[in-house]
Amino acid sequence: MDPLQLRHLLHKIVVKNDERAFSLFFDYYHTRLIRLSLLFVPRFDQAEEVVADVFLKLLGKRESLLAIENFEGYLFKMVKNESISFLRADKRQRTGNVLVDDIQDYLMVDHDNPEKRMINSDLGVLLHQVVEKLPPKRGLVFKMVKDENMSYKQVGEILEISERTVEVHLKLAIKDLRQALSQYYQENKPAIPLSKQRFLSILL
Amino acid sequence: MDDFTDIDGIILKVLNGSATKEEKDKVTQWANEADTNRFALERLKGIWSQRSGDPFLIGHEEQKRKLWMRFNETERRVSPGTSIPFYQQTWVRIAVVIVIIFFPVYSVYFQPEKTPTPEIEAVTIVRKANPTGQKSLIHLPDGSKVWLNSASTISYVEQFSDSLRSIKLEGEAYFDVVEDSLRPFVVNFESLLVRVLGTEFSVCAFGQDKDLRITLVEGSVKVLKATDPTEGNKTLQAGTGLIYSKEIGNFLPFTKKSNPELFNKSTEWKNGHLIFDGRNFSDFVAEISRWYGVKVVVKGSPPMGWNIRARFENELLTNVLEAVAYNKGFTYSLKGKELIITFDKHESL
């Protein structure tokens, strides 16, 4: 999120107790943080617990929260650290491991958000699917670098991989997207140049 | 045959903004190899500039409600009933002291006649310029962000001083300024300057345009005439903008409500939204050549009173042209970076 926008949001939450601001903040990060936590803890319910703790701890800092620089990096790092300490505290129960992929069971079937998919909707959905189908770690690397303005170094530290590996993940993500786009282009060639929406968007 | 084996790595650098000139050329060359490549590149740029969504988890809303309740419970525990009177709280006292100490400094500083000018010291000037057809995101040393449009330039001293953050702009840029109440942020462009403390706004000041335009998204800014700061001095509120006519030298206000197209055009270009708000043909040509970095040649005589209104999101040039050509009755041909627009006599009404 935009640092300024994010600060406004956090300010509204901790100072004005604004529930709508909290809702936006939560929607923005929840799924992503759960996925990050799942790289460390084995079960979905554990990840959910870890992320809930992080949310509460952070917001419990109140005004001092606003002084944190690079909040997004901080948030992700905190989820990682909490996940690891959760494991340490929870060693006894570590037997019943479930694969990371069990997150698929908890994801909602692609629910439509008409606001976000106005134009070129089928292409938008396709690309969304490509990103979602990336292996968990790769998808996270892609989103962290692209959306959270995090450096390769920061991402590498959080995911415990080298900067070089971060780059390789990104390249492969780009490759997947690029190939999906090429395929889409080939299949829809005749339809692409002029869609009805574009006609309509031009008023005389 | 050219070698495009590591094209993904180079595309990544271009998207990241860390590509060298050779690498940019390489990607352009790759894009020109085939239409599918060009399509893929344009879309990738679009994807990169938008946040990718996450699907919601099954218990999303429930978990959100639960956390909000727990958050509010902890709050009650933290703040006990016996609250300290307002004026006795430490932060109030500190704030009072700060105000007392800094007020003289502040008020002297904000005298209109003391309009800040960049200090003349032996400092390094950073200059960032975009050619036509390219936008970029620049991080300033104070943490502020600048989206620089194509055919635009900003320059600033490498290290901002303690009292001022000053930027010079030619062309169009969108600023997301980090708040710093002790260090105003000033954008100088042509005959105007904009002074802010921390906010989001867009400035459009292309040399060849008739107008300058300031559009405010958040917070408030002051617009001053560089020559005579006492004269201009307009304060803008969020959701409003100002057009300054270079010829006449007067200001014309507009708001998001009164002119939504112009407002959105000013703020959404950084997301790849190309908006025409009732432009005539020459504006259209100028916009297209800046946005896509093409050289436009016009054959035949374009009709008067074009008034084109349209909106394109991360769209390929050919698609834009296809749509407009259909409506306005011209044909075009695109060879590399040269675009020829031809008006047929019989078609014009």
Q: Is B9 a residue whose pLDDT tops 80? A: yes
In degrees and rounded to multiples of 5, residue A199 shows phi and psi of -60, -45
Q: Do A171 and B323 touch (CB under 8 A)?
A: no
Q: Do B319 and A194 touch (CB under 8 A)?
A: yes
Residue length of chain A: 204
Per the CB < 8 A criterion, the answer to whether B185 and B212 are in contact is no
pLDDT tens digits for range B16-42? 888 888 998 899 899 888 888 888 888
Buried b (16+ CB within 10 A) or exposed e, A21-33: bbebbbebbbbbb
**Which residues are CB-neighbours of B92 under 8 A, at least 6 positions away?**
B86
Rounded to an integer, what distance in angstroms lies between the CA atom of residue A83 and that of residue A10?
23
Q: What residue type is B231 in one-letter code?
A: E
pLDDT tens digits for range B200-254? 899 998 888 888 999 998 888 888 887 776 666 788 888 899 998 888 888 888 8
Q: Grade residue A169 by pLDDT with cuts at 50, 70 and 90.
A: very high
Q: Which two three-digit tokens encode residue B335?
A: 């060879």
Q: Do A198 and B318 touch (CB under 8 A)?
A: no
CATH code of the domain occupying B117-262: 2.60.120.1440
Write down the pLDDT at residue B52.
Answer: 79
Bridge-partner residues for B333, per DSSP? B340
For residue A166, what are the CA distances in angstroms to A100, A101, A158, A173, B147? 20, 21, 11, 11, 26
Mutate to test the interface with A, among B4, B6, B7, B8 (most CBs of A within 10 A): B8
- Whole-number percent of chain A with pLDDT over 90: 24
Mutate to test the interface with B, among A118, A174, A182, A183 (most CBs of B within 10 A): A174
Answer yes or no: pTM beyond 0.90.
no
Buried b (16+ CB within 10 A) or exposed e, B98-112: eeeeeeeeeeeeeee
Chains A, B: CB contacts within 8 A come to 161
Q: Do A31 and B37 touch (CB under 8 A)?
A: no
Q: Do A17 and B178 touch (CB under 8 A)?
A: no
Rounded to an integer, what distance in angstroms lies between the CA atom of residue A130 and that of residue A125?
9
Q: Which fold has domain A110-204?
A: Arc Repressor Mutant, subunit A (1.10.10)
With CA atoms as reference, the chain B residue closest to A168 would be B9
Which pairs with CB-CB distance under 8 Å and at least 24 residues apart come from B333-338? Answer: B334/B294, B336/B32, B337/B293, B337/B294, B337/B295, B338/B294, B338/B295, B338/B297
For residue B187, what are the CA distances in angstroms to A150, A177, B160, B252? 28, 38, 13, 19
Is the domain spanning B272-343 CATH 3.30.56.10? The answer is: no
Mutate to test the interface with A, among B15, B54, B178, B200 (most CBs of A within 10 A): B54
DSSP 8-class letter at B299:
E
Where in chain A are the domains?
A: 1-107, 110-204
Q: Which fold has domain A1-107?
A: Rna Polymerase Sigma Factor; Chain: A (1.10.1740)
B8 near A CB under 8 A: yes
Mean residue pLDDT of chain A comes to 78
> Which residues in chain A are closer than 8 Å to B17, comparing Cβ atoms?
none
For residue B198, what are the CA distances in angstroms to A72, B2, B180? 20, 48, 6
Where in chain B are the domains?
A: 7-48, 117-262, 272-343
Rounded to an integer, what distance in angstroms lies between the CA atom of residue A54 and that of residue B303?
62
If contacts are CB pairs under 8 Å, which of residues 122-151 in chain B contact chain A?
143, 145
- Indicate if B272-343 has the same CATH topology as B117-262: no
Mean predicted confidence (pLDDT) in B99-103: 63
State the DSSP H helix or E strand holding residue B154, giving kind and residue range, or none if neither: strand B153-157
In degrees and rounded to multiples of 5, residue A104 shows phi and psi of -55, -35
pLDDT tens digits for range A16-31? 888 888 998 998 899 9
Among residues A92, A94, A167, the alpha carbon closest in space to that of B8 is found at: A167
